[in-house]
Amino acid sequence: MKRQVDELQSGKSKIALDLDKKLQSGYNGYVPPEFETEIDTVAVPKTDQQIEDFFQKYVVSRKPCKIDGVPDDISFLQKLKPSKIRDYLPSEEILTIEKKNEGGFGSGARRLKMSFGQFLDKIMEEKDTGLYLTTQYLEDDPNNGDYSTDEEEKDQVLEEDFETGSITFENLHDDFDDLEEEDDEVDKDDEESDDQEEYEIRVKELYQSPMTNLVNVVPETPKFLNYLIPQQINLWIGAAKPLADHSGDDSWLAKFDPNDPKGRLGLGRNVPGGGSSSGLHHDHADNLYVPVAGRKRFTLFAPCDAAKMYTVGDIRQFFPSGVIDYFNNKNAPLWRQLRDDGAIVAEVYKTLLTTSLDDELKNKYEELIDDDLKKQLRSRDVDARELDPPSFSTVPPSVVHLGDINNEKLRESITKAAGKLWPSFSGSHRISVDLKPGEMLYLPTGWFHEVTSYGNNDKSDKNVHVAANYWFIPPTGQSRQRVYLDDYWPNDYKITQRALSALRSQDLE
C-alpha cells in the first residue's frame, strides 16, 4: 500500500514539474529574483510622465509595487474608518457576511445574512473575530429573497424583519425612470439594448454593496489608472488582534496531523501568531488595494509559480497577462473557459456571432457556446459552497508562514510533512509586503497572495480592519492608447458608463 501511495505521489510530482517548466517559459512578466525580495515603493503618480512610467514599469511588466500615499481623487475612502463608517453607509442594508471556516476566510463557503449595522456591532462591540465582509456575490444577494444557509448555521442567521428603505437601489429606482429619454440623446451608433434593470445591475456589479451607496463620491477608477477598465470596487471589513500582539491562540497547532484526510495537515486556514488569513490564492483581475484601518501582511508569489502553488483547479492555460485558465472538471465544475484578458470565451463568441462571419468560423463559435451551455446546465446541481475556488492553493496559510511557528520541533515536523505534499512550494520566490493606512498595493493579475489581517491599538477602531480595493480588467496591450487589443471590454464598459452617467445626472437635478 505504501509503495502505491509513493508511486502516486511521484507521478503527481512529475506532472507538477512538467507544468512548472511550461509556466515558467510562457510568462514574460516580472519574477522575484531572490527567495525573499523587497517590493518597490513608489510615490503616487501625478504628472503624465509619472503615469506613463508607472504604466511601463509596473502595469506592462506585471510587477507589483507598494504606493506611498493615496491620490486625492479617492481620498474619500480614508473616511471609512470604523468610528466613522456609519456616517457614510446605511446600517439597515442587508449583506452576506463570510463566517470563519477552519480558522480563516477566503473560500466563501459559509456566508450569513445580517444588516450592516448588526455586523458592525458584532465585530466592534462584541469583538467577534469570526466574521468578515467580503465581495457581495450577486447570486447570494440577501435582498432577492432566495438566500439560504446550511442547517447548522440557521441559529446564527439574524432573522429580523429588515427594513431596506434607505438602501441604495430602493431609492435609486426613480433615478432610472427617465433613462429612455436620456438614451435618446446618446449617439445611436453606440446605443446598446440597455434597459433600467440592466443599468441597475451594471452599477451594483461595479460598486459592490455597500459601496453602491458611494457612487457619487468614489470615482470608478483613480485618475492615475484611468486607462484600465474597472471591474469591481469592494469593501473588506473584519476584526483581529493587532500585529504587535503575540498572544494569538495557537492551540490549533495541536491538531497537526500528517495523515489528515483533507490534505491540510489538520492545520486548516489558521496562521501562527494570530491575525486572520485570506488563504493563498490568485485573482483574475489587476488589484489596487487601499487599507483604511488596521494592518495587512501580503505574501506574494509570481504567476509563473502557479504549479508550485498546487491549486485546487487543474490549470488549462496560462497567459502572459497573468490570467490563469482552468479545466472544467470535478475540481472546478462551475468553471468557464477564459481568454487572456479574463473574458469568458463563450460570452465573447456570442457577441461575434452578431457580426459577419464565414460558415466555418460561425460553426466553431456555436459549438463552443453550446458546449459551455451544457457544462453550465450540468453544474446546476453542484453545491459550490462546499468547494474552494480553483484559484485557491491547497497549501495551508500556516505552511506559507512556517517561520512564525515558535515550537521548533513542531515546525520541523510540519516542514517535513509539507515537503511531501507540496515538494515544489519551498522553491517559490516570494515578496512580503506590510501595508498600513496611507499606503496602497498594486497587484497584477495572477499573482498568488496570502493576506493576513490585523487590527491596531487605536481605541476608536477597536481592532477592526478595513480596506477597499479596485479590481481592473487585465491589460493585454503595450500602450496606454491601446491597453486592450480588441473592443470587447471597451464596448462592454460603455454600457456601465452610460448607467453611471444617467444615475449621476439624475442625482444632480
- The pLDDT score that the predictor gives to residue 187 is 47
pLDDT tens figures, 331-343: 999 999 999 999 9
Which residue's C-alpha cell is 498594486? 442
For residue 140, what pLDDT band results from cuts at 50, 70 and 90? low
pLDDT tens figures, 147-194: 333 333 333 444 443 333 333 444 443 444 444 444 444 444 444 445
| CB 457 within 8 Å of CB 243 | no
- The pLDDT score that the predictor gives to residue 402 is 94
CB within 8 Å of 188: residues ≥ 6 apart: none
How do strand 439-443 and strand 65-68 relate by DSSP bridges? antiparallel
Rounded Cα–Cα distance for residues 268 and 265 (Å): 8
Evaluate the omega torsion of the peptide bond into residue 210 and state whether it is cis, within 30 degrees of 0: yes
Task: Name the residue with higher pLDDT: 8 or 207.
Answer: 207
pLDDT value at 36 more than 60: yes
Map 357-409 to HEC letters.
CCHHHHHHHHHHHHHHHHHHHHHHHCCHHHCCCCCEECCCHHHHCHHHCCCHH
- The pLDDT score that the predictor gives to residue 108 is 57
Which residue's C-alpha cell is 469593501? 235
Grid cell of 160 as nine digits: 429580523
pLDDT value at 1 more than 50: no
- The pLDDT score that the predictor gives to residue 46 is 97
pLDDT tens figures, 211-269: 999 999 999 999 999 999 999 999 999 999 887 655 556 888 999 999 988 888 999 99
pLDDT value at 50 more than 60: yes
CB within 8 Å of 48: residues ≥ 6 apart: none
Q: What is the mean pLDDT of residues 4-22?
A: 58
**Burial class of residue 70, CB neighbours in 10 A (0-12, 13-18, 19+):** buried
Rounded Cα–Cα distance for residues 457 and 344 (Å): 44
| CB 67 within 8 Å of CB 42 | yes
CA of 353: how far to CAs of 60, 194, 348, 359, 364, in Å? 31, 19, 9, 11, 10
- Out of 145-149, 164-168, 470-474, 478-482, which region has the weakest mean confidence (pLDDT)? 164-168
- The pLDDT score that the predictor gives to residue 397 is 95
The closest alpha carbon to 235, from 116, 408, 372, belongs to: 116
- The pLDDT score that the predictor gives to residue 379 is 82
Instruction: Tell me the pLDDT of the chain averaged across its residues.
Output: 85
CB within 8 Å of 109: residues ≥ 6 apart: 101, 385, 386, 387, 388
- The pLDDT score that the predictor gives to residue 457 is 74
User: In which region does residue 340 sit, left (phi positive, over 0), alpha (psi from -120 to 50) or beta (all else)?
Assistant: alpha
Rounded Cα–Cα distance for residues 412 and 405 (Å): 10
Query: pTM for the complete prediction?
Result: 0.87
pLDDT value at 380 more than 50: yes
For residue 458, what pLDDT band results from cuts at 50, 70 and 90? confident
For residue 486, what pLDDT band results from cuts at 50, 70 and 90? very high
Percent of the chain, pLDDT > 90?
67
Rounded Cα–Cα distance for residues 32 and 405 (Å): 25
pLDDT tens figures, 295-322: 999 999 999 999 999 999 999 999 999 9
pLDDT tens figures, 79-93: 999 999 999 999 999
- Nearest-10 crossing angle of helices 196-206, 488-508: 100
Return the sign of the alpha-carbon dihedral for residues 472, 473, 474, 477. negative
Rounded Cα–Cα distance for residues 369 and 197 (Å): 25
Q: How far is CA 322 from the centre of its chain?
A: 14
Which residue's C-alpha cell is 509570481? 302
How do strand 65-68 and strand 40-43 relate by DSSP bridges? parallel
- The pLDDT score that the predictor gives to residue 159 is 40
- Could you tell me the domains of the chain? 2-39+64-150+204-310+393-476 (2.60.120.650)
